Structure 1
Amino acid sequence: MAEKATSVEEYLDALDPERRAELERIRALVSRLVPDTEATMSYGMPTLKFKGRALVYFTASKKHMSFYPSSYAIEALRDRLEPYKTTQHAIQFTLDNPLPDTLIEDLVRVHVREIDAAGE
């Protein structure tokens, strides 16, 4: 949708209001949970970095949105991801079936622990 965006705001500005609101919800939730994040673009996707590493990516496409919390987080919480299509690195969701706040928080906590454990 916004493949050529050079900033998170530019990416979000290109989205329809409903998708933008959903990605803004995720961004705000992660930023509240981990206040020391830095918003940037990486691989053409809005990214929140923590301690210099990508903590999460989030994107919107025509048919779904995706949340990338890390393969560790997806594997750790696989049983709670049944209602969503997943890949090794991403969870796909829609406006009709969004990711609950508690699930996003738990996925982020798993990845924060992984980053902290790496000592970076």
Structure 2
Amino acid sequence: MKNFANVDEYIADFEGEAKKRLTQTRKLVQEAAPEAVESISYGMPAYKIHGKPLVYFGGYKSHIGFYATPTGHKAFEKELSKYKQGKGSVQFPLDEPLPSKLITEIVLFRLAENQAKYGKIK
């Protein structure tokens, strides 16, 4: 696994459709949770509120991995059922449209969940 200093470096390491999807996913997360702190964690882009995980995402050969912790995936179980999943992860194939609205809804859900638990960012 490569060590990336920041998300720009991470995304720059990809090309083609994967790079495009990573850029789109980043923008969706930043728009839904502008107060989230962006970093690299577990070797991939990570977003946190109050130092607590919000979502992560990563690029792969044939998909974008999206990680909204088990609670985010459980809350959207029906909507995510058409995608390959693991515990707390889902794969959005590069040859299918990126589910932008769903990603935004999941980020907003996780944001509300973190804010309810730790308070709003001022």
Tell me, in whole angstroms, the C-alpha distance in 2 between the residues paired with 1:89 and 1:105. Answer: 16
**Superposition pairs of residues 17-96 of structure 1, within 5 angstroms:** 17-96=16-95
User: In the TM superposition, what whole-angstrom CA distance separates every residue of 1:71-109 from its partner, at most 9, and x where no partner exists?
Assistant: 111001100112201111111111112431211111112
AA at the equivalent of 2:52: R
Structure 1 residue ranges (4+ consecutive) displaced by more than 6 angstroms after TM superposition: none
CA contact (8 A) 2:70 2:88 kept: yes
Structure 1, unmatched stretches of 5+, are none
Cα distance, 1:22 vs. partner? Answer: 0.6
AA at the equivalent of 1:70: T
CA contact (8 A) 1:73 1:111 kept: yes
CA contact (8 A) 1:72 1:110 kept: no
1:97 is matched with 96
- Kindly report the root-mean-square deviation, in angstroms, between the aligned alpha carbons of the 2 structures: 1.5
Give the TM-score normalised by the residue count of structure 2. Answer: 0.88
Structure 2, unmatched stretches of 5+, are none
| Higher alpha-carbon deviation: 10-19 or 46-55 | 46-55
Give the TM-score normalised by the residue count of structure 1. Answer: 0.89
Tell me, in whole angstroms, the C-alpha distance in 2 between the residues paired with 1:99 and 1:117. Answer: 28
**Superposition pairs of residues 4-15 of structure 1, within 5 angstroms:** 4-15=3-14
What percentage of aligned pairs have identical amino acids? Answer: 34
Cα distance, 1:64 vs. partner? Answer: 2.0
Tell me, in whole angstroms, the C-alpha distance in 1 between the residues paired with 2:98 and 2:21. Answer: 10
